[in-house]
Amino acid sequence: MARAVTTQRKAFNTGLAWIIGLLIFFPILWTILTSFKTEAEAIANPPLFLNFDWTLENYAVVQERSDYMRFLWNSVIIAGGSTILGIIIAVPAAWSMAFVPSRRTKDILLWMLSTKMLPAVGVLYPIYLLFIQLGLLDSRGGLVVVLMLINLPIIVWMLYTYFREIPGEILEAARMDGATLREEILYILTPMAVPGIASTVLLNFILAWNEAFWTLNLTAVDAAPLTAFIASYSSPEGLFFAKLSAASTMAIAPILILGWFSQKQLVRGLTFGAVK
């Protein structure tokens, strides 16, 4: 018997969902609101919610003081580059694990994931030394490689899960129909895996965009992305909450907009295969 859902209950659930949603979103909302306040209003007690003098001054100052576009461009290069590189490596890897598994495939997958269990700071020292040796400190190329490596296990896992959903018989049918390996991948597999690949790309891009540990530790000026841009406003000589908020808002805006427009794709991708 289906559970009867009364109107009251529905309203209650909806309300609860909104409350939880707002609670989660509140820090971001507060940051955005603060970015429109003056520094004095930003630290006012009791805090001001909407009843303050809206100003764009902080944005002007931030824009004046630092070159937002350069940070943005670095973020795009680093997040985009590491995602593209990761996908190029992960597709064949996930492919062979999904369609030509060996006895060790499960172990390899688990081992790959286990590398994510190590706290990043644990390998900071060796990586930092390596970067010095290789002259990669404060270079976009170096960060592309590091972020790609960090997210690779997740990309492989996600793609592996999607590919596993594609029945092997369909590929065999293509082979019987005279398709070469290239044609099989091009005409059969890729079109069938597109939703999965797309959501993997999206998620990886977001993860790389938001990554702050490595981007802060391995960059200084030239390769610094938006995370460094935000950090540069949390200065020790005084708390400029309004400016920090304006910088943060500017840094998260692109990814927030991207996430907003692709949320359907993301949700579909993340729950893919959960229900057959």
Partner 1 sequence: MGRITLDKVRKAFGEVEVIPPLDLTINDGEFVVFVGPSGCGKSTLLRLIAGLEDVTDGEIRIDGEEATQVPPAKRGLAMVFQSYALYPHMSVRKNIAFPLRMAKMDAAEQTRRVEGAADVLNLTDYLERRPGQLSGGQRQRVAIGRAIVREPAAFLFDEPLSNLDAALRVGMRLEISELHKRLETTMIYVTHDQVEAMTMADKIVVLRAGNIEQVGSPLELYRTPRNLFVAGFIGSPKMNLIGGAIAAPHNATTIGIRPEHLSVSSDAGDWPGVVGVSEHLGSDTFFHVTCEGMEEPITVRVGGEVDLSYGDKVFLSPDPEHLHRFDAQGLRVA
Rounded least distance, CB 192 to partner 1, Å: 6
Q: Which of 147, 153, 156 is nearest to 97 (CA)?
A: 156
Rounded least distance, CB 100 to partner 1, Å: 12
Give the residue with the Cβ less far from partner 1, 178 or 238: 178
Rounded least distance, CB 118 to partner 1, Å: 35
Give the residue with the Cβ less far from partner 1, 39 or 184: 184
Give the residue with the Cβ less far from partner 1, 94 or 188: 188
In sequence order, what DSSP letters do the residues of 104-138 get, joined into one string? Answer: THHHHHHHHHHGGGS-GGGGHHHHHHHHHHHT-TT
Neighbour-count burial for 230-258, b at 16+ CB within 10 Å, e otherwise: bbbbeeeeeebbbbbbbbbbbbbeebeee
Query: How far is it, in rounded angstroms, from Cα 95 to Cα 171?
Result: 12
Give the residue with the Cβ less far from partner 1, 107 or 172: 172
The DSSP call for residue 48 is: P
Give the residue with the Cβ less far from partner 1, 70 or 175: 175
Rounded least distance, CB 173 to partner 1, Å: 4
Query: How far is it, in rounded angstroms, from Cα 92 to Cα 246?
Result: 42
Rounded least distance, CB 270 to partner 1, Å: 21
Q: Coil, helix or strand for 204?
A: helix
Q: Which of 123, 101, 133, 132 is nearest to 214 (CA)?
A: 123
Give the residue with the Cβ less far from partner 1, 191 or 236: 191
Which two three-digit tokens encode residue 145?
């490689």
Residue listed under structure tokens 């540990």:
213
Give the residue with the Cβ less far from partner 1, 14 or 180: 180
Rounded least distance, CB 171 to partner 1, Å: 9
Rounded least distance, CB 179 to partner 1, Å: 5
Q: How far apart are the first and last CA of the chain?
A: 22
Handedness of CA 222, 89, 205, 194 (dihedral sign): positive
Task: List contacts with partner 1 (CB under 8 A).
Answer: 167, 169-170, 172-180, 183, 187-188, 191-192
